[in-house]
Amino acid sequence: MRIVEPWIKVEKIDGIKIMKRIERACRTCYRSEGSITEDSYKKLLNNCITRGHESVLEHEKVTVRIYNDIGSYKDLTRHRFANFSVESTRYCSYDKDKYGNEISFINPVYIEDKEIYETWKNTMQEIEKSYIKMKQLGATTDICREILPHSTAAEYTMTANIREWKHILSLRTTKHVHPSIRQVLIPLLKYFKEEMPEIFNDVAYDEEFKPEYYAELKIEEEI
Ligand SMILES: Cc1cc2nc3c(=O)[nH]c(=O)nc-3n(C[C@H](O)[C@H](O)[C@H](O)COP(=O)(O)OP(=O)(O)OC[C@H]3O[C@@H](n4cnc5c(N)ncnc54)[C@H](O)[C@@H]3O)c2cc1C
């Protein structure tokens, strides 16, 4: 059994370029492309967002790759305007060499009580033992997945347009949301706030969530 930390990879974006491309698309509505200046996108985006003319944000998209527990994608895949490619628990057989012949579980670092944490850990160990035993007895991966818990680590790629990201990040970074999701999405929101302040600055998040719980955010050319 491996206890692993979550991470989120995001493709390297140029926020100003994204916002300028949205501006250019939006100005089609008023045929005001001639009014574009170095920073005209700021006022235009502000007007669009405050007036609810948000469909223009759908012209641009961002893809991320997330390594987190199954529970996190169970919740995130409810968002109908995002696209997902999720590691298959039907196909990936964790007793294989490729996976180190073991199951990886995401460390629930936010469980602060030692006794509760130990109980979680012991349970994961028992689950892994049973998974391997079932495999040895000839069970298919389909059958073995029945005993995988929410804590099982999995990778998924998620793509959404800017409007949907704004919606998802508004809903999924508050204190009402499971900590495993806050771990990955608060760092992403902070990155978007830096890159695209005119779009994301008004999105509130759980500022009391401890930064030491944040997942590592990796910014890469190719994810
Ligand atoms: C804190 C929290 C707790 C939750 N608890 C539960 C729970 O206990 N059980 C449960 O089942 N779910 C739960 N959910 C999931 C929630 O009900 C939504 O299914 C999920 O968040 C997707 O949100 P959405 O529909 O706004 O988003 P998206 O699917 O991303 O849609 C974006 C927006 O498009 C519009 N839209 C999309 N489809 C339609 C449509 N068919 N008709 C009209 N407008 C549409 C809406 O404005 C919507 O907000 C919870 C979510 C949160 C954030």
Same domain, 17 and 53: yes
- Between CA 103 and CA 192, with CA 172 as vertex, the angle to 5 degrees is 100
DSSP of 204-223? ---TTS-GGGPPEEEEES--
Residue 176's pLDDT is 98
Same domain, 161 and 140: no
CA distances to 6, 23, 103, 118, 158 from 122, in Å: 20, 54, 14, 6, 32
Same domain, 103 and 124: yes
Is 8 within the bounds of a domain? no
* Domain count within the chain: 2
Rounded distance from Cα 171 to ligand 1 centre (Å) = 9
Rounded Cα distance, 215 and 66, in Å: 10
Rounded Cα distance, 61 and 25, in Å: 14
Which pTM value belongs to this model?
A: 0.96
Residue 79's pLDDT is 98
Q: Whose CA is nearest to atom 9 of ligand 1?
A: 75
78 lines ligand 1 (CB under 6 A): yes
**DSSP H helical segments within the chain, as ranges?**
15-27, 40-51, 70-76, 114-136, 141-144, 162-171, 179-195, 197-200
171 lines ligand 1 (CB under 6 A): yes
Same domain, 28 and 78: yes
178 lines ligand 1 (CB under 6 A): no
Residue 10's pLDDT is 97
**SS3 call for 185:** helix
Q: Whose CA is nearest to atom 7 of ligand 1?
A: 75
Residue 135's pLDDT is 96
**SS3 call for 172:** coil
Percent of the chain, pLDDT > 90? 100
Rounded Cα distance, 213 and 84, in Å: 24
Neighbours of 123 (CB within 10 A): 13
Q: How many residues does the chain have?
A: 223
Residue 7's pLDDT is 98
Residues of the chain with pLDDT under 50: none
Neighbours of 27 (CB within 10 A): 18
Q: For residue 177, which atom of ligand 1 is closest to its CA?
A: 1
The pLDDT mean for the chain works out to 97
Same domain, 81 and 106: no
Q: Which residue has the tokens 């109908």?
A: 80
Is 2 within the bounds of a domain? no
**CATH number assigned to the domain comprising residue 40:** 3.30.1360.170
In a mutational test of the pocket of ligand 1, which residue from 58, 72, 75 has the highest number of ligand atoms less than 8 Å from its CB?
A: 75
Same domain, 212 and 163: yes
Using one digit for the tens of pLDDT, what is the confidence trace for 23-79? 999 999 999 999 999 999 999 999 999 999 999 999 999 999 999 999 999 999 999
Residue 72's pLDDT is 98
Q: Whose CA is nearest to atom 50 of ligand 1?
A: 75
Residue 77's pLDDT is 98
Same domain, 101 and 68: no
Same domain, 216 and 165: yes
Same domain, 211 and 193: yes
Q: Do 128 and 103 form a contact (C-beta atoms < 8 A)?
A: yes
Inter-residue long-range contacts of 140-143, CB under 8 Å, 24+ positions, other chains counted? 141/89, 141/90, 141/91, 141/92, 141/93, 142/90
Domain that holds residue 172: 13-86+157-220
